[in-house]
Amino acid sequence: MSVNVKEVLPMAEEQLQVATEAKMASATVSPISGSLTIMGVDFDPPLRYQNIAAAHGITLLVALENRGTQPAKGIILTATLVDKANSQRVIVRRRVYIDQIEGGQVKVQRFPRLEGLLLHKDYQLIVQVTSYATQQNILDQRNFSIHISSEGS
């Protein structure tokens, strides 16, 4: 059996081009490495007046996701609780340093013993993500309105 080289070679070039285009297309839709997102916050115990009065502070939980494919390194996570009526009045500010979050992973960071929450009923919680290297650049920020409910509300 004889094979005509001129017939096989163009098919091989066409298959190589299709395979290369497929690789390029998949690379452009993959997430950018190091893409950090604040997914949400929660409190332990829940923010009810009775829980806060009985507890020795409240623990703030912040879920942070690396939507990229590579590890995100050198992360600074800052939580600031301010008086909603006067945003210049900081009630508490906490900062943690996270060495690394693997690509595609979620980290729940704890901020234990937040105190001073019984001064008012309404607060603004500001959560920011920055990096060690560029502490001036905010990678993500979320603002949450917090209302501390009493027994009947």
pLDDT, tens digit (0-9, with 9 covering 90-100), for 71-89:
988 999 999 989 888 878 8
Look at the domain 36-147 and name its fold. Immunoglobulin-like (2.60.40)
Instruction: Give SS3 for 141.
Output: strand
Identify whether 45 is preceded by a cis peptide bond (ω within 30 of 0).
yes
pTM of the model: 0.70
Q: For the segment 86-136, what is each residue's pLDDT rounded down to a tens digit?
A: 878 888 899 999 999 999 999 999 998 877 666 667 889 999 999 877 666
Where do the domains of the chain lie? 36-147
